Amino acid sequence: MSDLPTPTAQRLRKPSWRDSRLLIGLLLVLASTAIGAFALSRADDRVPMYAAKAGLMAGQPLTAEDVTRVDVQLGEAGTDYLSAEGGLPPTFFVLREVRAGELIPQSAVGPRDRATAQPVALQVDATSAATLQAGSVVDVYVNRPAASAKGTVGSATFAGPDLALEGVTVVGLSSEDSVMGGGAGDTRPVQVMVPKDEVQQLVGDVDLGAKITLVAVPGAVAPKTS
């Protein structure tokens, strides 16, 4: 009977730094740690900014009710927008339209003396006002009394409508109960934003008894105001 070789038990060897599996595992751990640290550092770069809660229109005061705080990453562009770190200045006005949800540019707000438009209340043709809402963009037509009719009580003679303002924004309308006139000459109070240099002329036309008609601008998109 031949002698069979006796198997020898192999001892478990400690992993070596030259073991490829150990090196791959270590690299994966280091990569995961680096990615996590990078993600946290990017999150820390976010800064608080103000965004428009609803549509903002030129000329209106800017209040805390008009804005919402958002944390965003802007990098060097952060100085171009209104920061929420220090709160709103007490006497800021909107200088140009900002749509709902948009960050508020620094150039879109400023003190009262930089505002280029003022709200003016007009008694306008009720039919032309029926389809309007706050935020509608309109052209303003003025139909002035004829020269011979000025100062004549009850006169219905007018010179013909002229385009007085283009592309101004409606900021407020009265309720239907405020319609005045009682017939074909019904009027309704509507508040529009008027460029400062046009306010005097428009107020003069109103004082002379001119008829005011608002015509919606085709294709204009009204910003949401609520």
| Domain limits, the chain | 47-114, 117-216
Any idea what DSSP says for residue 220?
P
Mean pLDDT of 184-201: 85
At 107-149, the pLDDT tens digits run: 888 888 888 888 889 998 888 888 888 778 899 999 998 876 5
* Mean pLDDT calculated for residue range 27-47: 71
Question: Which has more confidence, 226 or 68?
Answer: 68
Return d(Cα 67, Cα 16) in angstroms, integer.
Answer: 61
Q: What is the pLDDT of residue 224?
A: 45
For residue 117, the model assigns a pLDDT of 82
What's the confidence (pLDDT) of residue 128? 81
Confidence of residue 52 (pLDDT cuts 50, 70, 90): very high
Residue 41 is predicted with a pLDDT of 57
pLDDT exceeds 70 at position 164? yes
**Does the pLDDT value for residue 205 go beyond 60?**
yes
d(Cα 199, Cα 215) in Å, to the nearest integer? 19
Closest by CA to 117, choosing from 25, 198, 194, is 194
Candidate ranges 9-13, 20-24, 161-165; pick with highest mean pLDDT: 161-165
CATH number corresponding to 47-114: 3.90.1210.10
Q: What percent of the chain has pLDDT above 90? A: 19
What does the pLDDT read at residue 70?
92
**List of residues 6+ apart from 141 with CB closer than 8 A:** 161, 162, 163, 164, 212, 213, 214, 215
